[in-house]
Amino acid sequence: MPNAPSPDPRLVVALAYEGLCTFELGVAVEVFGLHRPEMGPDWYRFAVASLEPGPLRATGGLTVAVDGGADLLAQAGTVVVPGWRGAEEPVPDAIAEAIRAAHDRGARVLSLCSGVFVLAAAGLLSGRTATTHWRYLDALARRYPDIRLARDVLYVDEGQVLTAAGSAAGIDLCLHLVRRDFGPLAANAVARRLVVPPHRDGAQAQIVERPVPLPHEGARLSPLLDRLRRSLDHPHTIAAMANSVGMSERTFLRRFKALTGTTPGEWLRDERLRRARELLETTLQPIETIAVASGFGCAGSLRHHFRERLGTSPVAYRRRFARKAA
């Protein structure tokens, strides 16, 4: 395509189609499509494109009007594919070809929830790691066995191709992309307007054993969690934590997992990683200093946990996410 336009790196285009999943489209609009003058003139521009004739009827009976068709999609620097109309619904060749062409021109392509089936039909996930809502994982594996499925994560970032799990995980992935493009301060500002956590690790599980804790567990353990977050650089033993809330160690471990979905050790590790990421993003402190301040004790331990949990090093993480932090 010698005359094809170059992708506009700040143009985000959401793909619309008959049977469109309304929530996922709303996520893309909220993150990329709202007017945000505080972000300056370099912020995203947003549009909706369709390759199907309208009017398009979305989930819930809403009618969607679009801004353009294939020509608009061809200009996008980022293409967002909301939830597809059904795991067993074939993806039309025209849609698959347009998504593949956008990728080949250099556009980033994101799928939210079941939108992963569109990326798979376009051939963008072959040999790559991807995820989707837990309800669709088996169907995706049957139809596309060459995809490496990440079954228990919120999202996967493969660079130019990104996939999110369930509907709300689409918020996490879109905020992650804001972090990539504009840094953590911008992502935090968007998250505040959305009234959501500014960052949930993509490796976080989709499902925990009990997402809503029993009231008495939250009342007794929540103050402890607050104290632990304020003292991540101190050692914390199971015995000391259990004693501080007046429980036996066995009772404490059971109720802690019921509240958080994980063990005290894993919870502390993830909170310490979160603190280390924050310091890497917003300060120029040496890696050794950050390791001590976040509770890992030494740079070697910090590097080990970054590699094991995040698949990168502290230095590489800082290079990627702190370059636009101010």
pLDDT tens digit sequence for 2-60? 566 678 999 999 999 999 999 999 999 999 999 898 898 899 999 999 999 878 988 88
**pLDDT band of 258, cuts 50, 70, 90:** confident
- Structurally, how many domains does the chain consist of? 3
Which among 21, 113, 174, 298 is annotated as catalytic?
A: 113
Which domain covers residue 252, as residue numbers? 215-262
Same domain, 248 and 118: no
Q: Give the pair of three-digit tokens for residue 41.
A: 């003139």
Residue 2 maps to a domain: no
Integer Cα distance of 134 and 157 in angstroms? 17
pLDDT surpasses 80 at 62 = yes
Residue 142 maps to a domain: yes
Residue 226 maps to a domain: yes
Same domain, 51 and 137: yes
CATH number, position 317: 1.10.10.60
Same domain, 95 and 112: yes
- CB burial of residue 236 (10 Å; 0-12, 13-18, 19+): middle
Name which residue leads in pLDDT, 122 or 261.
122
CATH number, position 20: 3.40.50.880
Same domain, 250 and 317: no
Stated as kind and residue range, the H or E segment containing 109 is strand 108-111
Residue 104 maps to a domain: yes
In the residue annotation, 298 being an active-site residue is answered as: no
Average pLDDT, the chain: 88
Rounded to the nearest 10 degrees, the angle between the axes of helix 249-260 and helix 264-282 is 50
Residue 202 maps to a domain: no
Place of tokens 């094809």: 4
pLDDT tens digit sequence for 93-138? 999 999 999 999 999 999 999 999 999 999 999 999 999 999 999 9
Same domain, 150 and 227: no
pLDDT surpasses 70 at 150 = yes
**pLDDT band of 261, cuts 50, 70, 90:** confident
